[in-house]
Amino acid sequence: MRKDKVRFGAVVFMVLFVGLLVAGLFYLSYGIEQTSFKLNEKKTGVQEDNIKFTDATWHLVDFSSCENAYDENRAMQEIGLIYTIPYYGNDYNCNLQITTYYDDGKVSTPQSKRLDETIHTFSGFNVFDSYKFTICCTDNFDTACKSKMVESYC
User: How much is the pLDDT for 133?
Assistant: 92
User: How much is the pLDDT for 12?
Assistant: 84
User: How much is the pLDDT for 83?
Assistant: 85
pLDDT digits (tens, 9 = 90+) for 76-132: 888 988 888 876 556 778 889 999 999 888 888 888 888 887 888 888 888 889 999
pLDDT digits (tens, 9 = 90+) for 28-61: 887 777 776 655 555 566 777 778 888 888 888 7
E strand residue ranges, 6-142? 52-59, 76-84, 93-101, 111-114, 121-126, 130-138
The 3-class SS string of 12-25 reads HHHHHHHHHHHHHH
Q: What value does the mean pLDDT take over residues 72-78?
A: 81
**Residue 149: which pLDDT band, with cuts at 50, 70 and 90?**
very high
The yes-or-no verdict on residue 19 having pLDDT over 80 is yes
Provide the whole-model pTM. 0.65
User: How much is the pLDDT for 134?
Assistant: 92
